[in-house]
Chain A
Amino acid sequence: MNRRHSQAVGRVLKPIIGVAITAVMLSPLLWMISASLQTRTQLYEIPAHILPPTPTLANFEAVISTQIGSLGTSVVISVATAILSLIISVPAAYALAQRQFRWTGTIVLLLLITQMIPNVMTATPFYLMFSRLGLVNSYPALVLADSTYAVPFAILVLRAFFVEVPAELREAALIDGAGELGALLRVVLPVVRTGVIAVGMFCFLFAWADFVYALTLSTDGSVVPFTLSIYSFIGAQQTNWNELMAAAVLGIIPGAVLLIGAQRYIAAGLIGGAVKG
């Protein structure tokens, strides 16, 4: 098989394999969409229906009014978490990247340690802490708690990005009279812009998926994120799978919008044009 021939085969095969891989990865989501269009009875039929036999939007009609508000709440909490996490982690990651402090390893380790206890176990102490601060049932409580998921991750990843930035760039900025903050904001940050945005998006997702803190820190129904509101479909005796799945599909939408918007940042990778090559 000559080279050109194999390239042509690759051109055809690669998209097909790519679609297949993606389909496998997305199968639970595809199934959720299919299930959200079926009736409860159809869901229990054997063998399972891969496609809805008689697609219906009834499930969506049943859940849409109750879910919109909580989706909004989740967006607010997640965006705030992403911003707070970046404010905390960007300078820290920068500092840890610039200087190999004797205790860099210790700091990184300390941050990792905090991530090692299951959230179900840390939720109680958080409740204690926030009730002393008078923050239970408030947005700040969830943002602060959720950002503990995100900050250690963000520092670790951002530090790796910052380490890759050529030292000359920062030094040139310092020579030009910029302080460290100036060097960070005006020179280094733009270089790793895509990385920062990607990390911010990850932080958003950590908060988006949180269930345990929402359940614990929100007790009176005044702040109800999406994960908590979806819980109401899981009844004491039986779960309304069809409606649960419809609500879950609605919940994909904000994420999908975000994904499309941030696509080029995720794809762009580590280092932007300035220092490439």
Chain B
Amino acid sequence: MLSGKTKADLGVGAEASLTPRPSAAPRPTRPRAGRGLGALRRHSILFFLLPVVLYLPFFAYPIGYNFLVSLRDYTLSSLITGEAPFVGLRNLSSVWHDPIFLTALRNTLLFTLLSITCQYVIGLAIAVFFSRPFFLSRTLRSVIILPWLVPGVVTTAAWKWMFNESNGLVNRLLMDVGLDPIGWFSTSSGAFAAVTIVNIWTGIAFTVVMLHSGLQGIPADQYEAASLDGAGAWGRFWHVTMPGLRPVTGIVIILCLIGTLKQFDIVWVLTRGGPGNATQLLSTWSYQLSFGEQAFGRGAAVGDFLFALSLLAAAVYAIWNRRTTR
């Protein structure tokens, strides 16, 4: 990615930035790019990217590996013999034409859309609620992110128990208030609701923390100015809070999006994609093919589709980001 020339520049720049230079003191107030010391400084900042560039192999390798496996007929025997015939796009075409593909794609999209929307709206509501200090607000706000401290595998197991139709807590509480118990895992819609609820819940703590942090960054005088202009609570929210949160919102949404698209643990522990394929996502199907049926090539091919979907989402984010920040 970096040419030899750029690397050389990095070296110089690094030196420049590490060595104090008294001679540099009388400088123009705005360092200008491309001229003398300014040029050195301009490049010195590239040095800061070195650690992450060195780290890139750890990111790139798994993706490349997955892609290569998806082009091969990779089976359990391949593991011992090392032979996995190249089959080109056959795995991709095979999963594309599988009836489960559409189901898994539709479920993945719906699951993601519902999760992101609810995570953001609920997270924002909680963050705004806790933004003004009141009795206990600091304590509660800290405690509310506790769920994050428990590994997801465990909280999901706890949820599974709570959603249990006969001796679970959720149905007991529903019946206590006079409602009918819900077939959380015995109906398609119940199971889909259950996995979505757990996923939303899992993401809220993160959303609250991020949005709270964003709210703190909005200067108080903006609210005062809006009030003087006659804006009510709603007006202040739409004209001050929301624009002020825009950068954080972008990050929150893209991170939740990616987390949800690849969500696997929750669904696997709760329903294993069932009943039928009612909660089958691309991620669970990919796992099922690879490790349930040892069809590693086809599993990786589903992974490729998931990856393409995420890429699309990231591209949309990048465009949105460019528009709003510049």
Contacts and interface: CB of A to CB of B under 8 A. Distances in A.
B51 interface: yes
Contacts of A107: 49, 52
Contacts of A26: 143-144, 146-147
A180 B45 contact: yes
A189 interface: no
Contact of A109 (B210, B291, B314): B314
Interface stretch (B81-89, B97-105, B184-192, B260-268): B260-268
Contacts of B254: 112, 156
Contact of B62 (A31, A91, A122, A231): A122
Interface in A251-272: 251-252, 254-256, 258-260, 263, 266-271
Interface of B is mostly: helix
A18 B45 contact: no
B204 interface: yes
Interface stretch (B111-119, B165-173, B235-243, B271-279): B165-173
B141 A267 contact: yes
Contacts of A211: 151-153, 265
B120 interface: no
In this complex, the interface size class of chain A, counting residues with CB under 8 Å from chain B, is 35 or more
Contacts of B46: 95
B63 A241 contact: no
B135 A121 contact: no
A252 B50 CA distance: 36
A177 B22 contact: yes
A117 B161 contact: no
- Most A C-beta atoms less than 10 A away, residue of B55, B66, B152, B306: B55
Nearest to A124: B65
B232 interface: no
Nearest to B142: A263
Given A116-B310, A160-B247, A268-B216, A28 B151 contact: no
B240 to A, nearest CB: 15
Given A18-B137, A182-B20, A263-B138, A92 B48 contact: yes
B205 to A, nearest CB: 7
B18 A181 contact: yes
B216 A269 contact: yes
A121 B290 contact: yes
Nearest to B21: A177
B126 A19 contact: no
A170 B204 CA distance: 35
A1 interface: no
B91 interface: no
A14 B314 CA distance: 38
- Most A C-beta atoms less than 10 A away, residue of B58, B136, B141, B152: B58
Contacts of A109: 314-315, 318
B77 interface: no
B25 interface: yes
A236 interface: no
A59 interface: no
A198 interface: yes
A114 B209 CA distance: 24
A156 B255 contact: yes
A273 interface: no
B162 A46 contact: no
27 contacts: A19-B140, A21-B140, A25-B147, A29-B150, A35-B158, A43-B161, A47-B167, A47-B175, A48-B172, A91-B49, A95-B45, A113-B314, A125-B65, A129-B58, A160-B247, A160-B251, A171-B29, A177-B24, A179-B18, A205-B148, A211-B151, A211-B152, A227-B153, A256-B146, A263-B138, A267-B142, A269-B215
Given A28-B147, A92-B49, A115-B258, 10 more contacts: A29-B155, A47-B172, A91-B47, A118-B283, A121-B290, A125-B65, A160-B247, A177-B24, A182-B20, A244-B154
Enumerate the 7 nearest inter-chain pairs by beta-carbon distance, A residue then B residue, closest first.
Answer: A269-B216, A255-B149, A116-B310, A270-B217, A179-B17, A91-B48, A114-B59
Interface of B: 16-22, 24-25, 27, 29-31, 41-42, 44-52, 55-56, 58-66, 126, 129-130, 134-138, 140-155, 157-159, 161-162, 164, 166-169, 172, 175, 201, 204-206, 209-210, 212-217, 219-221, 247-248, 251, 254-255, 258, 261-265, 283, 286-287, 290-291, 299-300, 303, 306-307, 310-311, 314-315, 317-318, 321-322, 325-326
